[in-house]
Amino acid sequence: MNAELEANKTPWHTMDIEEIARSLQTNLERGLDTSDIENRQARYGLNKLTSRQSRTPLMIIFDQLTNPLVLLLIGAASLSLFLGKTIDALAVFAIVVLNAVLGFIQEYRAENAIAALQSLSSPTVRVRRNASILEISAEQLVPGDVILLEAGNTVPADARLIEAASLRVQEAALTGESEAVDKEAGILNQPGTPLGDRRGMLFMGTAVTYGRAVALVVETGMQTELGHIAGLISNIRTEPTPLQKRMAQLGKTLAFTVLGIVILAFAIGTIRGEDPILMFQTAISMAVAAVPEGLPAVVTIVLAMGAQRMLKRKALIRKLPAVETLGSVTVICSDKTGTLTENRMTVTVLDVAGHTLELEEILEKGHPLLLASEPAITTEWESHILLSGVGALVNDAVLQGSDQTCSDCKVLGDPTEAALLVAAARLNLWQQDLQKIFPRVGEVPFTSERRRMSTLHRLQAPDASQPFHPSHKLVGIFPQPGSVVVMTKGGVDGLLDVSDRVWVNGEILPLDEIWKGRIAAANEQLAGRGLRVLGIAYRPLADDTLSAASSGMVEVSEEVENQLIFIGMVGMMDPPRQEVYQAVQTARQAGIRPVMITGDHPLTALQIARMLTIVDADETRVLTGQELAMLDETKIKEAVRDVSVFARVSPEQKLVIVDALQSQGEIVSMTGDGVNDAPALRKADIGVAMGITGTDVSKEASAMVILDDNFASIVSAVEEGRQVYDNVRKFIRYTLGSNAGELLVMFVSPLIGLPTPLIPLQILWMNLVTDGFPGLALTLEPPEKDTMRRKPVSPHENVFARGLGWYILRIGLVMAVVTLAFAWYFWSSGNAAWASMVFTLLIFAQAWHALAMRSVSESLFRMPFASNPALYAAIVLTFALQMAALYWPPLQRLFGTVPLSGSEMLITLAASLTIPLWIEMEKWIQRLPLKAKL
């Protein structure tokens, strides 16, 4: 079947691009026409893998109905039917259906919420349609589309290359080969060439690690190579999250425990001579009473709703388990630039030849560059022209708008580069002018390993007919027109390693130890102020170095970055984000350690960390990538325990840091934006990608995306994560506590000689009403005040930990004692309504119980009504339904109830209040030692 598939497929890799364009009826220059898209989508379908489909409504209904307890109930109802008790049987069926409907609605909503989150995180792609470039969701691609890709993109479909510039693609997803492959347009393969060798093709799901490309989409969705693989595994269901697994486990354990108790009760009852059939039904009702059927579903719902709330707070969850893991995070590792800081850079300092000058000062000095008259330009000004001019040329940002002082300029591109363009413009060196005289002819792109980039420029003779302009001055500094100059900018430390001369007031001197020392000292002084420092250098190329490529861009290797002439440094301010300061406090209060990991200079990093109180003001420990590389494993483990600032770190080292932290038992969240960050993002317990600056590859590797690139959003997500776990625990507290009460009442009554107070239908009703409405509403409870003031809990913590198990037993006992005493009193005094009173008492008590559970420590009277109105509505509904069960004749007949008199109702109500009173008293006692301390 596989061979057949292979044979039917078009061998795109053997066809040249024109041939493919013809067969797909597309125009490579214009792209497809938008009017054509609908037709194509109808024919080829959406570009997505169907294996990740969510559960269908039918699957949810099936799961609901095959729950073992529901099956048990259906069995019991069938038995009743067989024995001729039609009404009973129908009522049980009705309750089963109602229960299933409620569960279905909730689960369906949860599934939809999850599906919506998934489609939100689908990547976008740039495509050429109607001769212009659009950005569309990758799902919308069709065969025949022309797409534009660059480093960091995931390939969104199978495509044939039209153009490729230094293109490298990592195809591990398909071939298992982790080394990136060079790709080239125009390569034709023989039929049968293995995937890994089809170098003229791009495949869905692989990652562009370097370069740029234009490509023609040939296959989409399940027709792609990845689609074929996915097709083979499409039946795998999504893995349940750890919490869901534990809840399912808990459900099973409870079911068995209860089964034991029930068999015991059945045996005792039968021995005492009760009707075995009634006893059987009672036993089953008890089982149903005790087991929280809704638990696994509630977990799914709470997780999905938690993910939705996180989205409102700018954290997009890509993997559902992240919601719960977030609550356990103990260390948040974060990038600096853009995440902790605003990424709004402003150049404030220029440093040439060992003279540090504030930019404002330079401008105040009369600004001779604006005079634009040649004689006014001294050698000192010449140095500033060179520094800023080169900074503006070795630059991929684009300046827009050009008012006199550039106070209002808009810049597209990287903020670091934008700052350089603005600074140059303020010295009257405008990017457009510079680019005319120094057109770019080659480039070595920025990488975070080298921390620098270079461009090559061919000098043009300035137009003599134009009036003198400062940028003309720059020409004089370099050799004659026609020659090529390398311009480089990057981290100062690294740049000094590849420079051997230095520019000093118009002279080029050897870069000796004295100069190196002076530059390094100035660099450290600037970094110590928290400034980001970039070094700038250049070198004229000997003419023959660059082959006669006079037109178009050439590919240049990193080798050109050597024997450079160091010009100077620029220092730029990047203010810390306002809201991060608060978020750091919150994190620390919550027992979470924030850690900064940056590619920037150690002193810059340390200073920003101090400003944000990530470290104390007198902290001096900072570990650089270089130092890290020299430590052995045990030393690294020791270091990560208390060093909180890591600088000049390469992406690969992020993985080392995550590993070391995890080996210390930490639950680690790690941010990243680049292609190389993907391994660390995958390894971290919570990989966090940047929504704005992040690459597709980093997003795909992460569990969560922060849409605003803001550290504060990670902390908010942690808070939501804790709340999710809290609310699941509240639900367990409430349902299991109440169920324990019901079970004890049913179990003990016959032992103390009391007739069984509740009939099976009443128990089923009770569970439907109390778990279904107040129980679910309880999961809507907003976070408690102390959510972010306690230590993180281990993700492996037992659900019953921290007193929860004891609470369930305690409250069950209290409820049983109150109910049994109440029952005994009214039964022995011969009150005909005693059983209906007990039935009502238990329902009321549970409704109050839910209310008191709003907070596990705070007094109910301090909980604002408005923060969970749904719960109050649910309680009113519960009371109303119980009134119907007591006073509406059809339900009276069904449940065998008698109407209560006014005073009986009041007494029942009063007795039910003992439950919330007891809980409030417990909470009060728990708060006592705290009060004493204050």
Q: Which residues are catalytic?
A: 335
Smallest gap from residue 583 Cβ to ligand ADP (A) = 17
Q: Which residues contact 119 (CB under 8 A, 6 or more apart)?
A: 139
Smallest gap from residue 606 Cβ to ligand ADP (A) = 13
What is the number of other CB atoms lying within 10 angstroms of the CB of residue 789?
11
Among all chains, which residue has been given the structure tokens 């007494």? 907
Closest CA to 309 of 861, 854, 717, 733: 717
163 vs 414 by CB, closer to ligand ADP: 414
- Report the chain's terminal Cα–Cα distance, integer Å: 75
649 vs 660 by CB, closer to ligand ADP: 649
Closest CA to 145 of 40, 18, 227, 9: 40
Smallest gap from residue 487 Cβ to ligand ADP (A) = 11
287 vs 647 by CB, closer to ligand ADP: 647
Structural contact between residues 495 and 326, judged by C-beta atoms closer than 8 angstroms: no
Task: Choose the binding region for ligand ADP from 165-173, 409-417, 852-860, 874-882 (rule: CB under 6 A).
Answer: 409-417
Q: Does 534 bind ligand ADP (CB under 6 A)?
A: yes
What is the number of other CB atoms lying within 10 angstroms of the CB of residue 44?
18
Q: How far apart are CA 597 and CA 672, in angstroms?
A: 10
Task: Choose the binding region for ligand ADP from 119-127, 302-310, 446-454, 902-910 (rule: CB under 6 A).
Answer: 446-454
Token pair, residue 704, equals 């969560």
600 vs 742 by CB, closer to ligand ADP: 600
Residue choice 448, 483, 626, 831 for contact with ligand ADP (CB under 6 A): 448
Q: Does 414 bind ligand ADP (CB under 6 A)?
A: yes
Burial 232-266 (b: 16+ CB within 10 A, else e): eeeeeeeebbebbebbeebbeebbeebbebbeebb
What is the x/- site pattern for ligand ADP, positions 17-56, by CB under 6 A?
----------------------------------------
Smallest gap from residue 337 Cβ to ligand ADP (A) = 3
What is the x/- site pattern for ligand ADP, positions 235-264, by CB under 6 A?
------------------------------
Q: How far apart are CA 452 and CA 446, in angstroms?
A: 5
Task: Choose the binding region for ligand ADP from 261-269, 486-494, 619-627, 630-638 (rule: CB under 6 A).
Answer: 486-494
Smallest gap from residue 649 Cβ to ligand ADP (A) = 7
Q: Is residue 931 exposed (0-12), middle (13-18) or buried (19+ Cβ within 10 Å)?
A: exposed
160 vs 451 by CB, closer to ligand ADP: 451
139 vs 414 by CB, closer to ligand ADP: 414
Residues in the chain: 934
Smallest gap from residue 615 Cβ to ligand ADP (A) = 16
Q: Does 676 bind ligand ADP (CB under 6 A)?
A: no
What is the x/- site pattern for ligand ADP, positions 328-367, by CB under 6 A?
-------xxx------------------------------
Token pair, residue 835, equals 């059983």
Task: Choose the binding region for ligand ADP from 19-27, 489-497, 587-595, 806-814 (rule: CB under 6 A).
Answer: 489-497
Supply the DSSP symbol for 491.
Answer: -
What is the x/- site pattern for ligand ADP, positions 592-631, by CB under 6 A?
------xxxx------------------------------
Smallest gap from residue 395 Cβ to ligand ADP (A) = 8
Structural contact between residues 570 and 527, judged by C-beta atoms closer than 8 angstroms: no
The single-letter code of the amino acid at 363 is L
Residue choice 210, 446, 734, 826 for contact with ligand ADP (CB under 6 A): 446
Q: How far apart are CA 312 and CA 706, in angstroms?
A: 11
Q: How far apart are CA 667 and CA 330, in angstroms?
A: 5
Residues within window 791-810 making contact with ligand ADP, judged by CB under 6 A: none
Q: How far apart are CA 629 and CA 633, in angstroms?
A: 10
Q: Does 532 bind ligand ADP (CB under 6 A)?
A: yes
Task: Choose the binding region for ligand ADP from 146-154, 312-320, 385-393, 414-422 (rule: CB under 6 A).
Answer: 414-422
Supply the DSSP symbol for 552.
Answer: S
Q: Does 730 bind ligand ADP (CB under 6 A)?
A: no
CA 320 vs CA 123, 306, 721, 726: distances in Å: 18, 10, 11, 17
State the Cα angle at 243 between 804 and 591, rounded to 5°.
Answer: 70
Q: How far apart are CA 386 and CA 474, in angstroms?
A: 6
598 vs 912 by CB, closer to ligand ADP: 598
335 vs 771 by CB, closer to ligand ADP: 335
Q: Does 654 bind ligand ADP (CB under 6 A)?
A: no
Q: How far apart are CA 31 and CA 126, in angstroms?
A: 12
Q: Is 251 left (phi over 0), alpha (psi -120 to 50) or beta?
A: alpha
Closest CA to 712 of 720, 702, 700: 720
Number of residues that bind ligand ADP (CB under 6 A): 20
Per the DSSP assignment, residues forming a β-bridge with 573 are 346
Strands 623-624, 645-647: pairing is parallel
Smallest gap from residue 534 Cβ to ligand ADP (A) = 6
Smallest gap from residue 213 Cβ to ligand ADP (A) = 22
Q: Does 500 bind ligand ADP (CB under 6 A)?
A: no
Q: Does 781 bind ligand ADP (CB under 6 A)?
A: no
Smallest gap from residue 525 Cβ to ligand ADP (A) = 16
Task: Choose the binding region for ligand ADP from 474-482, 488-496, 564-572, 879-887 (rule: CB under 6 A).
Answer: 488-496
85 vs 212 by CB, closer to ligand ADP: 212
Residue whose C-beta lies closest to ligand ADP: 599
Smallest gap from residue 339 Cβ to ligand ADP (A) = 8
442 vs 490 by CB, closer to ligand ADP: 490
Handedness of CA 457, 462, 467, 470 (dihedral sign): positive
Q: Does 279 bind ligand ADP (CB under 6 A)?
A: no
Smallest gap from residue 335 Cβ to ligand ADP (A) = 5
Smallest gap from residue 593 Cβ to ligand ADP (A) = 19
CA 859 vs CA 465, 784, 873, 921: distances in Å: 84, 12, 20, 9
Q: How far apart are CA 669 and CA 714, in angstroms?
A: 9
Q: Does 452 bind ligand ADP (CB under 6 A)?
A: yes
Closest CA to 243 of 727, 734, 704: 727
321 vs 599 by CB, closer to ligand ADP: 599
337 vs 428 by CB, closer to ligand ADP: 337
Residue choice 220, 224, 416, 727 for contact with ligand ADP (CB under 6 A): 416
What's the half-sphere exposure (Cβ side, CA atoms, 13 Å) at 641? 10
Structural contact between residues 443 and 401, judged by C-beta atoms closer than 8 angstroms: no
Q: How far apart are CA 531 and CA 571, in angstroms?
A: 6
Closest CA to 168 of 204, 211, 203: 211
Residue choice 156, 327, 491, 760 for contact with ligand ADP (CB under 6 A): 491
224 vs 598 by CB, closer to ligand ADP: 598
Structural contact between residues 247 and 295, judged by C-beta atoms closer than 8 angstroms: yes
Phi, psi of 217 (to 5 degrees): -70, 130
Contact residues toward ligand ADP (CB under 6 A) are 335-337, 414, 416-417, 446, 448, 451-453, 489-491, 532, 534, 598-601
